[in-house]
């Protein structure tokens, strides 16, 4: 290989890294500058898949964002539901099915501890709230306002 | 037209036209047999470390051994990519680095990353937290948080003395191979590490969006 071609490949390798970092950085910057809505739990914004259990009074509502194709986050939600007590004062627990074009099957998300299952038909979670991680747990107070507490440091 | 070699001569001496640049001056990190043996031990260590992280979850299909094998192969490929990047980059400046030898150096040096990872895991499992002194050695990933945003804290988890040592030895290998001053290869290697980890941080942050993972 001629020295000139070697130099060209070398420059391409370095340029690729620089372009990758600059591109990712620009994308990240644009995303950080985008103003998303503050999450708010309003059941009317979503489509109920499973009938909500008898209304329980609770100080908090926990909503787990799940995608039916993500076995890991479904298992995580089940594990949370298994461990979350149902004593008075325990939070209400809802599953919010996200990033799903077709209406999900009711039985795929059944768990006795779940207080309800909702389908995010309009893509509120991703497009309006800017959230992206399946399995995340959103906490809302009794009025439906998001409790924005950093977790795990 | 000014050649790249002379334009970027500040990165090192311009190579002579005769054979010295074409004959590899980078020695193998160890004789071949010990190199292969230690590389095998390190790869097994990575496989084991990944396998232990993959706690089987009820209802989730998939064999952790296969996942650990794929992750180990990906790490091996990452080492090859890193070696190829340095080889190609130095060719832009007219220097030749034998790929296989640098690959061997980088693979053996990844043992420092493995040691750092195991150190963090040891403290997390036995004490539930990594002491600051141990985090300085093994990387900030053992600390619950830092002033960095969460995604960047994860991307720079390995930042510690062991990683700095690995960067220094990688730079030393390039210095031996090219004849370029160690300080300059160290700047080049450090900048590459910084940029690639920045890209990783950007990627994590984009994947995360406004989500806050973890239990409340």
Bigger pLDDT: A26 vs B63: A26
Q: Which of B61, B64, B92 to mutate to test the interface with A (most CBs of A within 10 A)?
A: B92
* Mean pLDDT, residues A68-79: 86
Q: Is B142 on the interface with A (CB under 8 A)?
A: no
Q: Which of A13, A141, A149, A150 to mutate to test the interface with B (most CBs of B within 10 A)?
A: A13
Per-residue pLDDT band at B104 (split at 50, 70, 90): very high
Mean pLDDT of B81-89: 95
CB of A77 within 8 A of CB of A136? no
Torsion of CA A75, A77, A78, A79, to 10 degrees: 90
Compute the C-alpha angle B178/B184/B186, nearest 5°.
95
For an interface test with B, the pick among A5, A8, A22, A24 (most B C-beta atoms closer than 10 Å) comes out as A24
Q: Is residue B47 included in any domain, yes or no?
A: yes
Q: Which of A42-56, B18-32, B152-166, B192-206 shows the lowest mean pLDDT across its residues?
A: B18-32
Handedness of CA B50, B55, B60, B62 (dihedral sign): positive
Domain assignment of residue B17, yes or no:
no
For A43-148, which CATH class? alpha beta
What φ, ψ does residue B43 adopt, rounded to 5°?
-65, -40
Measure the CA–CA gap between A66 and A73, rounded to whole angstroms: 6
Q: Which residue of B has its CA nearest to A20?
A: B199
Candidate from B90, B150, B195 with C-beta closest to A10? B90
Res B216 pLDDT > 60: no
Owner of token pair 């406004």: B210
pLDDT, tens digit (0-9, with 9 covering 90-100), for A79-138: 888 888 777 778 889 999 999 998 887 776 778 888 889 999 999 999 999 999 999 999
Residue in B with minimal Cα distance to A147: B216
Q: Region A21-26: what's the mean pLDDT?
A: 97
Nearest to B60 among A72, A131, A150 (CB): A72
Asked if A99 contacts A70 with a C-beta cutoff of 8 angstroms, the reply is no
**pTM confidence score:** 0.82
Per-residue pLDDT at B50 exceeds 60: yes
Extract the tokens encoding B106.
């980088």
In a domain, B18, yes or no: no
Average pLDDT of the residues in B177-200: 95
Distance from CA of B146 to the nearest CA of A (A): 8
At B59, the pLDDT band (50, 70, 90 cuts) reads: low
Q: Cα–Cα distance between B50 and B166 in angstroms, integer? A: 21
Res B7 pLDDT > 70? no
pLDDT at res. B150: 84
Q: Min CA distance, B34 vs chain A (Å)?
A: 31
Please give the pLDDT value at position A46: 93
In sign, the C-alpha dihedral spanning A43, A49, A52, A58 is negative
What residues 12-71 of chain B have any CB closer than 8 A to a CB of chain A? 57-61
Shortest alpha-carbon distance between residue B147 and chain A (Å) = 10
Higher-pLDDT residue of B187, A85: B187
B209: nearest CB among A11, A72, A130: A130
Task: To the nearest 10°, report the CA torsion of A121, A127, A131, A135.
Answer: 20
Q: What angle do CA B94, B96, B99 make, to 5 degrees?
A: 145
Identify which of B58, B145, B211 has the shortest CB distance to residue A133.
Answer: B211
**Angle, helices B161-178/B64-92, rounded to nearest 10 degrees:** 40
Helix (H) or strand (E) holding A119, with range, is strand A116-119
Is the model's pLDDT at B12 over the cut of 50?
no
B64-92 helix and B182-208 helix, angle to the nearest 10 degrees = 140
The answer to whether the CB atoms of A17 and B195 lie below 8 A apart is yes
Closest residue to B85, CB basis, from A11, A13, A152: A13
Of A92 and B106, the structure prediction assigns the larger pLDDT to B106
Q: What pLDDT, on the 0 to 100 scale, is given for residue B58?
A: 58
* Structural domain includes residue B159: yes
Best CA proximity match to B82, nearest among B106, B104, B100: B106
Q: Closest by alpha carbon to B128, among B114, B139, B144? A: B144
pLDDT of B45 higher than 90: yes
**pLDDT confidence bin for A71, thresholds 50/70/90:** confident
Give the span between the Cα atoms of B146 and B152, in whole angstroms.
9
- Which pLDDT value is given to residue B6? 43
Which chain A residues are closer than 8 Å to B195 by Cβ? 17-18, 21
Look over chain A and give the mean of its residue pLDDT values, rounded to a whole number.
Answer: 86
Pairing of strands A137-141, A60-66: antiparallel
pLDDT at A121: 93
The three-class DSSP label of residue B216 is: coil
Number of domains, chain B: 1
**Contact between B57 and A76 using a beta-carbon 8 Å cutoff:** yes
pLDDT digits (tens, 9 = 90+) for B111-165: 999 999 999 989 988 988 899 999 999 999 888 777 788 889 889 999 999 999 9
More confident residue, A82 or B173: B173
pLDDT of residue A100: 92
The answer to whether residue B184 is domain-embedded is: yes
Domain assignment of residue B32, yes or no: yes
pLDDT of residue A34: 95
Structure tokens at A73: 């986050």
Higher pLDDT: B66 or B37? It is B37
Closest CA to B116 of B191, B53, B46, B190: B46
| Cα–Cα distance, A74 to A68 (Å, whole number) | 7
Which of helix, strand or coil describes residue A88? coil
Q: Is residue B83 part of a domain?
A: yes
Asked whether this complex has an ipTM greater than 0.90, the answer is no
**Three-class secondary structure of residue B104 per DSSP:** helix
């Amino acid at each position: 290989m001629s020295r000139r071609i070697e130099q060209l490949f070398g420059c391409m390798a370095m340029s690729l890294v620089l372009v990758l970092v600059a591109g990712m950085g620009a994308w990240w910057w644009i995303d950080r500058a985008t103003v998303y809505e503050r999450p708010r739990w309003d059941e009317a914004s979503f489509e109920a898949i499973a009938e909500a259990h008898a209304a329980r009074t609770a100080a908090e509502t926990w909503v787990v964002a799940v995608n039916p194709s993500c076995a890991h986050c479904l298992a995580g939600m089940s594990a949370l539901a298994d461990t979350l007590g149902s004593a008075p004062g325990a939070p209400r627990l809802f599953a919010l099915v996200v990033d799903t074009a077709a209406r999900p099957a009711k039985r795929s998300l059944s768990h006795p501890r779940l207080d309800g299952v909702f389908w995010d038909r309009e893509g509120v979670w991703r497009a309006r709230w800017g959230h992206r991680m399946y399995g995340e747990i959103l906490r809302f107070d009794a009025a439906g306002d998001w409790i924005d507490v950093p977790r795990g440091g | 037209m000014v050649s790249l070699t002379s334009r970027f001569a500040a990165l090192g001496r311009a190579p002579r036209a005769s054979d010295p640049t074409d004959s590899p001056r980078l020695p193998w990190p160890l004789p071949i047999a010990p190199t292969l043996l230690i590389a095998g031990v390190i790869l097994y260590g990575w496989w084991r470390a990944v396998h232990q992280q993959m706690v089987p979850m009820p209802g989730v299909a998939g064999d952790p051994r296969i996942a650990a094998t794929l992750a180990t192969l990906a790490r091996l490929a990452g080492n090859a990519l890193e070696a190829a990047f340095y080889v190609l980059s130095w060719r832009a400046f007219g220097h030749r680095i034998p790929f296989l030898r640098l690959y061997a150096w980088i693979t053996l040096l990844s043992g420092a990353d493995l040691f750092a990872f195991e150190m963090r895991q040891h403290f997390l499992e036995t004490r539930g937290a990594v002491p600051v002194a141990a985090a300085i050695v093994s990387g900030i990933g053992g600390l619950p948080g830092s002033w960095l945003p969460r995604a960047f804290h994860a991307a720079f988890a390995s930042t510690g003395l062991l990683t700095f040592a690995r960067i220094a030895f990688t730079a030393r290998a390039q210095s031996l191979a090219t004849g370029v001053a160690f300080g300059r290869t160290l700047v080049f290697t450090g900048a590459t590490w910084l940029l690639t980890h920045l890209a990783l941080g950007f990627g994590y942050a984009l994947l995360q969006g406004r989500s806050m993972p973890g239990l409340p």
